[in-house]
Amino acid sequence: MTPVQTRANVGERVNAESSAGLVIMIVIAVVLWGSAPAGIRVALAGYRPAQLSLLRFGIASVLLAVYAAFAGLRLPDKRDWFWLILTGGVGITFYNIILNYGLVTVPAATGSFVISTTPIWTALLAVIMLGERLTKLGWAGILLSLAGIALIARERGNGLHFSTGALIILVGAISYGVYMVLQKKLLGKYTAFEFTCYAFWAGTLLMIPFAPGLVGEIRTAAPNATWAVVYLGVFPAAVANVAWAYTLSRVAAAQVSSYLYLMPVVTVAIAWLWLGEVPTILTLMGGLIALAGVVMMHQWGHAGAES
């Protein structure tokens, strides 16, 4: 074997190992995020929605601070403080508290399918706020996704009426779309990990007003509820976001975002095994239709995507 062939083989092995590492990071993020709705349902047996969010992201914020101490985190520009606080408030504080309220009454699988429509709201908000354009297929994907949500709504209530919990989660999905639009302003200046840290810390600080009563809930909550909160803080919040930040630091978001479509599937499986929540046929049909609309919008919905 010649030196040139040896270097080529070594390069191929390095690229293969790097690709395998990225796939592992993506799988970790998707599986952990997919498990979050089931974990929240367990935790809500012992904690109120706002207090649950505070404890969960308090744990995650501490873990991220420890990691950041060794990662050489840059201090944010003072001119960006307002946007970082606003983004954390919308995407961490508001979204997670309102999601918890919705999951008090909505099964984990149903909640996950509604949350999965976030890219639809992100696209619509980008049209309004950023002047982006959608193709005809993009608008068709949005309508298809809305039809899927309507089918879930029909299954949850009488006619095309949302249950209160599903409507709350839908508001949460829209708010997370706002978060995704706002972060575009910041990701051009900060790395994915830096942005995650500052958004988490800002969002957690904004939850401090909900601290009263949290200590009492920790004392009275059943152990499985408390361990569920710890799990949510360590894994779906901290570990999954670090894994995703690692991925985004090496691969463009557009190349890996399609993996996020697997999250509701993961949620269905975990909720079935962990909580015994068996999804109905209409929930699955509506969820798959909604996901199909999201995929259509993502793949062919933006101006220039059509051939």
Phi, psi of 278 (to 5 degrees): -95, 115
Residues pairing with 302 in the sheet: 134
> How far apart, in whole angstroms, are the C-alpha atoms of residue 202 and residue 197?
9
Mean pLDDT is lowest, of 59-73, 80-94, 110-124, 170-184, for 110-124
Q: Assess contact for 285 and 115: CB atoms under 8 A.
A: no
When mean pLDDT is compared across 47-51, 75-79, 83-87, 107-111, the lowest value belongs to: 107-111
Instruction: Based on DSSP, count helices (H) and strands (E) in the chain, helices before strands.
Output: 15, 0
How many Å apart are CA 174 and CA 202, to the nearest integer? 20
Q: What is the pLDDT of residue 253?
A: 60
CB 121 within 8 A of CB 169: no
CA distance 109 to 87: 27
What's the pTM?
0.83
Using only C-alpha atoms, what is the Rg of the chain? Answer: 20
What are the beta bridge partners of residue 134?
Answer: 302
Q: What is the pLDDT of residues 240-276, one digit of tens each?
A: 988 888 887 777 665 666 677 788 888 989 999 999 9
